[in-house]
């Protein structure tokens, strides 16, 4: 384990010559990097610093990706491939350099080059800034899928927005979250290639003109309003050592015209520039709310902007093939990642009807064969709707088309369900009420040939509850595709020690066939193997401890249990349950100073939406408890509480391999799948979790004895709510819990201020505890006691840890993408 990284890389991965095109290059990566420092960056390359080395390397790597990408694109045309368009308002790729070097087999060359210049890859990667073009799970899933699509050699494109500002950077000041802008492009990014020639005008507002064509058909023409230009920026996604490179096209808003001449001539210089600035605003910033749609006009503009440009791009490529329109769905498939891009359905209808002059039936038939929709949430407040009035104003033609889709759909429903007069209003695309709204999920369901959930339980809930009416109308349309994660980033890249151990014992094929990990089950009784396993974990924990020391200034014991909950802050994810338990532990240790207890380090990370006050209060509570616990001489050898600021993909890569206990404790029935849960278990952490989302499937695969499931299941949550849930009962009957809650409702953690957390106390009691934190409290505490007890039995724990990794092969995004290929996309890999 003490060898230099570069000495053992060859053990880890597939050799280069399996995929590299012969004679592709006769210069080394280092030579090309130096060339770029001089000729692309315009800087002196006779000496290098970290910045120059980083950007030089980026450009040299990019050259190699571009060569492969171009060859791959030509192949798509030559083979007349069917193409996948994956539309997502969010992507969270994480840092690029290490992953791209790994995929392209260039890690050794990079190490050698940097070594020659007294630099290391680690310090270079520290320089890299991470694009935060997403909020959390949904965006990260999109990036995992892009990685798998490239690795499987699929003719696929990601499409999204090139936000100038990604998700805010989180700072913690005096325990509170403070949001700072994330200007990730402040020095540009050579990972993105701007393509000024891929430019489309996108219209907003305006009016719809009706006219009769020569055959007497009523035609429509949308004109006037504002035009904004959508300009392409491509980001490249190399497959793992297969010579395949795909791209994610991110649209950037550009002004349609430089200045409004009339106001410019009138001397209103600032006014005319202002207009240009407001056009660019569309792609300026990512909306920072997770699981809660932003009902703002700009958000709808963003959705239409990227979708309209993407549909244009797809149609542009299709037209090159000179095929009839009915072959559009034979040659393309569009996957909608949530309803954010669902406006693509009326947009394509508009293009086919108004620009290509197809008839309604023909156009609708094409759309229904082309689109597929993935649902990611069942939180009622997160199901997206838009006011009819807003759509009417912003996209007048689309509102007409939505009305017509709805009219025809409801006519069919009335015809087939004559004795259910209530059904049409329940499934209508437009909700009744004082303010009519378009239900985007209904639009997506009606306009797609496939609707999928992202874990077994989630899909079942969609069928049983959320979209129950639609199951009867479209019985074949619904299916499940349990989420997955890419083993390249979430094991090979983030956990080099364990990857090495795995490749030594299993060979390196696990990197592209994660089911190979099941062979680890044969090694659990091998004492030496278990010892090596534990050493790998300890190495990772020490690395994390160093980071915590450096960033938070707190020393943590790497032999303590690292218990981690990192994810967005949301009441349903129940970070509160976690901190309530920590407070009770704290009380117990103070009461029994001689307690024999395994030291524990509780680590939190995650951002709260800036407008979500309760989530921010919970962050503040955690930080206040941390301050008290970490400074208490009675407890600090047993208990540490750490909040790591600005949780992002890079921080996840540091945390995941160092975690002993993974907290996945959402109220059952609320988390659609989760993918964090998969990352931790894959790296050998044991999960404490509710029977929610993919936790259930993880349990089935790692085995009951190797996961700590607790608390109410989804049906019990519903039943308790129906019976009438009274959190006061739990308060009255559990003295330990009562003590904890009373502390929160006092100035114990905020001396002199006894109301700092009254919002939390009230929500849990008078507010009815909507996420049933108190109902699950006792089961959670008892399960933690078991964990603490079992952790001490190192043989037992390490066996369980190995069994977790061994059971996680199913959760590879390669498997998930293959299921999408077979069940939805009908695509052929082109490798
Ligand atoms: P696009 O598909 O038009 O976006 O072009 C992407 C890349 O595909 C181009 O840079 C070419 O390398 C390749 N390409 C574009 N059009 C054709 C074609 O008609 N035949 C073969 N290759 C093409």
Q: What is the pLDDT of residues 778-795, one digit of tens each?
A: 999 999 999 999 999 999
Residue 667 CA to residue 189 CA, distance in Å, equals 40
pLDDT at 180 over 90: yes
**What is the 79 CA–ligand 1 centroid distance (Å)?**
12
Q: Which atom of ligand 1 is nearest to the CA of 313?
A: 4
pLDDT tens per residue, range 196-215: 999 999 999 999 999 999 98
Q: What is the mean pLDDT of residues 436-442?
A: 98
The tokens of 382 are what? 């997160």
Determine the straight-line distance between the first and last CA of the chain, rounded to whole angstroms. 36
**What is the 450 CA–ligand 1 centroid distance (Å)?**
29
The tokens of 439 are what? 């239900």
Tell me whether residue 568 is one of the annotated catalytic residues.
Answer: yes
pLDDT at 14 over 80: no
Q: Is the CB of 71 under 6 A from ligand 1?
A: no
Of 579, 529, 550, nearest to 757 by C-alpha is: 579
Q: What's the pLDDT at 7?
A: 58
Using DSSP, state whether 483 is helix, strand or coil: coil
Residue 748 CA to residue 746 CA, distance in Å, equals 6
Which residue's CA is minimally distant from atom 20 of ligand 1? 77
Q: What is the mean pLDDT of residues 448-470?
A: 97
Tell me whether residue 805 is one of the annotated catalytic residues.
Answer: no
Scan for tokens 């620009």, then name that residue: 355
Which residue's CA is minimally distant from atom 6 of ligand 1? 73
Residue 7 CA to residue 818 CA, distance in Å, equals 34
- The model's confidence at residue 279, banded by pLDDT at 50, 70 and 90, is confident
Q: What's the pLDDT at 11?
A: 63
Tell me whether residue 679 is one of the annotated catalytic residues.
Answer: yes
pLDDT tens per residue, range 241-269: 999 999 999 999 999 875 556 665 666 77
Q: What's the pLDDT at 674?
A: 97
| Alpha carbon separation from 580 to 368, 563, 632, 643, 743 (Å, rounded) | 49, 14, 18, 15, 10
Q: What is the mean pLDDT of residues 107-125?
A: 95
**What is the 144 CA–ligand 1 centroid distance (Å)?**
25
The tokens of 119 are what? 């630099």
Mutate to test the pocket of ligand 1, among 73, 158, 233, 331 (most ligand atoms within 8 A of CB): 73
| Element of type H or E holding 323 | none
Using DSSP, state whether 120 is helix, strand or coil: coil
Helices (H) and strands (E) in the chain, counts: 34, 22
Q: Is the CB of 728 under 6 A from ligand 1?
A: no
**What is the 181 CA–ligand 1 centroid distance (Å)?**
37
Q: Is the CB of 176 under 6 A from ligand 1?
A: no
Residue 225 CA to residue 227 CA, distance in Å, equals 7
Q: What is the mean pLDDT of residues 76-80?
A: 96
Domains, the chain, ordered by start: 326-481 (3.40.50.2000), 488-817 (3.40.50.2000)
Q: What is the mean pLDDT of residues 766-770?
A: 98
Q: What is the mean pLDDT of residues 719-734?
A: 98
Name beta bridge partners: 204. Answer: 226
If you average pLDDT over every residue of the chain, what do you get?
94
**What is the 72 CA–ligand 1 centroid distance (Å)?**
9
Q: According to the 3-state scheme, what is the secondary structure of 408-457?
A: HHHHHHHHHCCCCCCHHHHHCCEECCCCCEEEHHHHHHHCCCEEEECCHH
Scan for tokens 């349309």, then name that residue: 477
Q: What is the mean pLDDT of residues 624-637?
A: 95
Using DSSP, state whether 796 is helix, strand or coil: helix
pLDDT tens per residue, range 358-386: 999 999 999 999 999 999 998 888 899 99
Q: What is the mean pLDDT of residues 449-455?
A: 98
90: left (phi over 0), alpha (psi -120 to 50) or beta: beta
Q: What is the mean pLDDT of residues 768-780?
A: 98
**What is the 829 CA–ligand 1 centroid distance (Å)?**
18
Beta pairing class for 450-453 and 430-431: unpaired
**What is the 566 CA–ligand 1 centroid distance (Å)?**
42
Residue among 82, 458, 492, 679 flagged as catalytic: 679
Q: Which atom of ligand 1 is nearest to the CA of 70?
A: 12
Residue 579 CA to residue 587 CA, distance in Å, equals 12
Of 560, 633, 656, 614, nearest to 760 by C-alpha is: 614
Q: What's the pLDDT at 670?
A: 97
Tell me whether residue 376 is one of the annotated catalytic residues.
Answer: yes
Of 490, 489, 481, 405, nearest to 440 by C-alpha is: 405
Could you give phi then psi for residue 565, rounded to 5 degrees? -125, 105
Residue 193 CA to residue 402 CA, distance in Å, equals 36
Of 744, 761, 764, 741, nearest to 753 by C-alpha is: 744
Residue 112 CA to residue 115 CA, distance in Å, equals 5
Residue among 675, 687, 690, 750 flagged as catalytic: 675
Q: What's the pLDDT at 342?
A: 98
Q: What's the pLDDT at 826?
A: 96
Name beta bridge partners: 664. Answer: 689
Mutate to test the pocket of ligand 1, among 68, 74, 80 (most ligand atoms within 8 A of CB): 74
Kindly give the residue spans of alpha helices, DSSP state H, lying in 79-133. 97-104, 107-116, 121-126
Residue length, the chain? 831
Burial zone of 275 (CB within 10 Å; 0-12 exposed, 13-18 middle, 19+ buried): middle
Q: What's the pLDDT at 291?
A: 76
Q: What is the mean pLDDT of residues 116-130?
A: 93
Count the Cβ atoms, other than its own, within 10 Å of residue 592. 10
Kindly give the residue spans of alpha helices, DSSP state H, lying in 508-612. 527-552, 575-591
- The model's confidence at residue 19, banded by pLDDT at 50, 70 and 90, is very low
Q: What's the pLDDT at 207?
A: 98
Q: Does residue 180 contact residue 169 with C-beta atoms inside 8 Å?
A: yes
Name beta bridge partners: 603. Answer: 564, 642
Mutate to test the pocket of ligand 1, among 67, 71, 75, 77 (most ligand atoms within 8 A of CB): 77
Which residue's CA is minimally distant from atom 5 of ligand 1? 73
Residue among 573, 607, 616, 784 flagged as catalytic: 573
Which residue's CA is minimally distant from atom 22 of ligand 1? 74
Of 78, 13, 244, nearest to 149 by C-alpha is: 244
Q: Is the CB of 197 under 6 A from ligand 1?
A: no
Using DSSP, state whether 824 is helix, strand or coil: helix
Q: What's the pLDDT at 295?
A: 77
| Element of type H or E holding 720 | helix 714-723
Tell me whether residue 257 is one of the annotated catalytic residues.
Answer: no
Tell me whether residue 675 is one of the annotated catalytic residues.
Answer: yes
Q: Any idea what DSSP says for residue 554? A: -
pTM of the model: 0.97
pLDDT at 10 over 80: no
Q: What's the pLDDT at 8?
A: 56
Of 66, 487, 58, 511, nearest to 246 by C-alpha is: 66
Of 669, 665, 290, 291, nearest to 465 by C-alpha is: 669
Distance of alpha carbon 355 from the chain centroid: 35
Q: Is the CB of 195 under 6 A from ligand 1?
A: no
Percentage of the chain modeled with pLDDT above 90? 89
**What is the 158 CA–ligand 1 centroid distance (Å)?**
16
Dihedral sign computed on CA atoms, order 568, 232, 83, 78: negative
Residue 607 CA to residue 540 CA, distance in Å, equals 24
Q: What's the pLDDT at 17?
A: 45
Scan for tokens 């592209």, then name that residue: 512
pLDDT tens per residue, range 646-655: 999 999 999 9
Which residue's CA is minimally distant from atom 10 of ligand 1? 70
CB-based burial, 729-739: b 16+ in 10 Å, e otherwise: ebbeebebbee
**What is the 153 CA–ligand 1 centroid distance (Å)?**
17
Which residue's CA is minimally distant from atom 23 of ligand 1? 74
pLDDT tens per residue, range 310-350: 999 999 999 999 999 999 999 999 999 999 999 999 999 99
- Rg of the chain taking only CA atoms, in angstroms: 27
| Element of type H or E holding 561 | strand 561-566
Q: Does residue 627 contact residue 586 with C-beta atoms inside 8 Å?
A: no
Count the Cβ atoms, other than its own, within 10 Å of residue 533. 24
């Amino acid at each position: 384990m003490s060898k230099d990284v570069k000495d053992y890389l060859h053990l880890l991965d597939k050799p280069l010559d399996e995929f590299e095109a012969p004679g592709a290059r006769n210069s080394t990566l280092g030579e090309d990097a130096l060339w770029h420092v001089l000729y692309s960056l315009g800087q002196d390359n006779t000496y290098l610093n970290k910045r120059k080395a980083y950007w030089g390397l980026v450009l040299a790597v990019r050259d190699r990706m571009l060569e492969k990408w171009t060859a791959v694109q030509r192949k798509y045309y030559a083979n007349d491939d069917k193409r996948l368009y994956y539309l997502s308002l969010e992507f969270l790729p994480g840092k690029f350099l290490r992953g791209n070097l790994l995929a392209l087999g260039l890690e050794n060359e990079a190490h050698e080059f940097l070594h020659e210049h007294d630099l290391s890859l680690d310090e270079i990667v520290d320089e890299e800034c991470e694009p935060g073009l997403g909020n959390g799970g949904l965006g990260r899933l999109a990036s995992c899928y892009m990685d798998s699509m490239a690795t499987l050699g699929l003719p696929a494109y990601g499409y999204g927005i090139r936000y100038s500002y990604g998700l805010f950077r989180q700072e913690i000041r005096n325990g509170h979250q403070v949001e700072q802008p994330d200007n990730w492009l402040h020095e540009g990014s050579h990972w993105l290639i701007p393509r000024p020639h891929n430019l489309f005008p996108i219209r907003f507002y305006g009016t719809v003109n009706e006219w009769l064509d020569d055959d007497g058909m009523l035609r429509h023409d949308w004109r006037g309003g504002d035009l904004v230009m959508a300009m392409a920026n491509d980001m490249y996604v190399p497959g793992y050592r297969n010579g395949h490179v795909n791209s994610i096209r991110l649209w950037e808003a550009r002004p349609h015209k430089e200045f409004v001449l009339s106001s410019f001539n009138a001397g209103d210089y600032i006014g005319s520039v202002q207009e240009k600035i407001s056009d660019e605003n569309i792609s300026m910033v990512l909306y920072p709310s997770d699981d809660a749609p932003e009902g703002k006009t700009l958000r709808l503009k963003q959705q239409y902007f990227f979708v309209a440009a993407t549909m244009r791009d797809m149609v542009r490529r299709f037209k090159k093939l000179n095929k009839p329109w009915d072959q559009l769905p034979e040659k393309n498939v569009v996957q909608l990642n949530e309803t954010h891009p669902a406006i693509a359905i009326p947009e394509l209808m508009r293009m086919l009807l108004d620009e290509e002059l197809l008839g309604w039936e023909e156009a609708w038939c094409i759309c229904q064969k082309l689109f597929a929709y993935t649902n990611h949430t069942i939180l009622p407040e997160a199901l997206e709707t838009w006011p009819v009035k807003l759509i009417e104003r912003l996209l007048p033609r689309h509102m007409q088309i939505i009305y017509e889709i709805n009219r025809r759909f409801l006519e069919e429903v009335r015809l087939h369900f004559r004795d259910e007069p209530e059904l049409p209003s329940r499934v209508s695309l437009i909700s009744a009420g004082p303010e009519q709204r378009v239900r985007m999920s209904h639009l997506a369901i009606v306009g797609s040939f496939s609707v999928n959930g992202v874990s077994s339980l989630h899909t079942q809930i969609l069928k049983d509850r959320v979209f129950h009416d639609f199951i009867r109308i479209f019985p074949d349309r619904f299916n499940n595709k349990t989420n997955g994660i890419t083993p390249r980033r979430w094991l090979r890249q983030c956990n080099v020690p364990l990857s090495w151990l795995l490749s030594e014992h299993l060979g390196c094929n696990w990197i592209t066939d994660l089911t190979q990990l099941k062979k680890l089950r044969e090694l659990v009784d091998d004492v030496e193997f278990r010892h090596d396993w534990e050493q790998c974990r300890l190495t990772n924990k020490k690395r994390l401890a160093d980071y915590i020391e450096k960033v938070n200034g707190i020393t943590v014991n790497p032999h303590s249990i690292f218990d981690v909950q990192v994810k967005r802050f949301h009441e349903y994810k129940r970070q509160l349950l976690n901190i309530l338990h920590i407070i009770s532990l704290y009380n117990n240790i103070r009461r029994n100073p001689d307690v024999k207890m395994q030291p524990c380090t509780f680590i939190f990370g995650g951002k709260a939406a800036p407008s979500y006050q309760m989530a921010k209060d919970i962050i503040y509570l955690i930080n206040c408890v941390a301050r008290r616990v970490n400074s208490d001489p009675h407890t600090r050898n047993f208990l540490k509480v750490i909040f790591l600021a600005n949780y992002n993909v890079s921080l996840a890569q540091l945390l995941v391999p160092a975690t002993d206990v993974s907290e996945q404790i959402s109220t059952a029935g609320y988390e659609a799948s989760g993918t964090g849960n998969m990352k931790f278990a894959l790296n050998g952490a044991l999960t404490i979790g509710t029977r929610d989302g993919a936790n259930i499937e993880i349990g089935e695969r790692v085995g009951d004895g190797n996961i700590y499931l607790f608390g109410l299941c989804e049906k019990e949550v519903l039943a308790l709510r129906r019976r009438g849930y009274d959190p006061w009962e739990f308060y009255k009957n559990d003295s330990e819990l009562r003590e904890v809650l009373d502390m929160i409702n006092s100035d114990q953690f905020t001396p002199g201020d006894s109301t700092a957390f009254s919002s939390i106390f009230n929500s849990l009691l008078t507010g009815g505890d909507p996420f049933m934190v108190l109902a699950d409290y006792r089961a959670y505490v008892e399960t933690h006691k078991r964990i603490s007890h079992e952790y001490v039995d190192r043989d037992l724990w390490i066996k369980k840890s190995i069994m977790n990794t061994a059971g996680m092969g199913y959760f590879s995004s390669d498997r998930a993408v293959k299921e999408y290929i077979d069940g939805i996309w009908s695509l052929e890999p082109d490798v």
